[in-house]
Structure 1
Amino acid sequence: MRYEFKFHKILAVKEREKDEAVSIYQDSVRKFEEVAEKLYELLKRKEDLEVYQSERLHGGLSIQEIRHHQQFISNIEKMIEHYQKMVINARNRMLLFQEKLLEKNIEVKKYEKIREKDYMKFTEDLKVFEGKQMDDISIQMYMNREG
């Protein structure tokens, strides 16, 4: 007797869905990290620019240069706002895909548990069947000795 899991095809589909969910989740993590890194770079650039402007103010700076720096900082702040929204969106997408991955993992685990229990039942049934065969063989051997 050969063991065959009756839900083999369903398990294969669920595993494929889980693999796809892993791939999508990993992609969302990568995109989140990229956007977060860009936000960090902008924040760092703004901080560096403010430090530079502060140092230059102590040494004397023309009004034109002050306006230029303020305009540049204002543009960076707009970019920072934009990237903060992108980070929030990317994080939400990542969390959504993480939740979907968790669901797919649970589905696969359920079918694996069913397969495990089904296989255990199969092996127990096989042992009982083999035991009966051995009993039949023993009875036949006994009957042949008697006859």
Structure 2
Amino acid sequence: IITHGTDEQKALWLPKLVEGVWTGTMNLTEPHCGTDLGLLRTRAVPNSDGTYRISGQKIFISAGEHDMADNIVHLVLARIEGEPEGVKGISLFIVPKLKLDASGNPGEKNTVSCGSIEEKMGIHGNSTCVMNYDEAQGTLLGETNGGLKAMFTMMNEA
């Protein structure tokens, strides 16, 4: 968000993330494609208000669901309808667990859910989740089709 977000996105999301009041996740991998992100099926359908409806499933999401923060901000790779197949057509979206109200506070639940908790090599201090997105409301982060560039910025800094 710091590198690829708009000034409005930075003001809206960063203060609570930096304070630790909200937490964040990276959502890349899908069950059918493993590390070949060009095969991803998660879709983003534009809404008339500039947001998107995000639908799909992601796996191996560290801290994808918990009750230790007021909100969880998921950064989700998806393909906007009509964009190219393969990695060049992937965009990145901010998809919060709880939608923000007009004042920027968590409000209505988004249609994001934890499908299951993965058993991951004895790691039990952090919930590794399957995350389901069912037309969840999200906003584009960075440029259309610039999702991998933005995600790798985050992964390299993590």
TM-score above 0.5, yes or no: no
- Could you state the TM-score of these two structures normalised by the residue count of structure 1? 0.19
**Higher normalized strand content (fraction of residues):** 2
Larger Rg: 1
- Could you state the TM-score of these two structures normalised by the residue count of structure 2? 0.18
**Higher normalized helix content (fraction of residues):** 1
Greater relative contact order (CA < 8 Å, ≥ 6 in sequence): 1
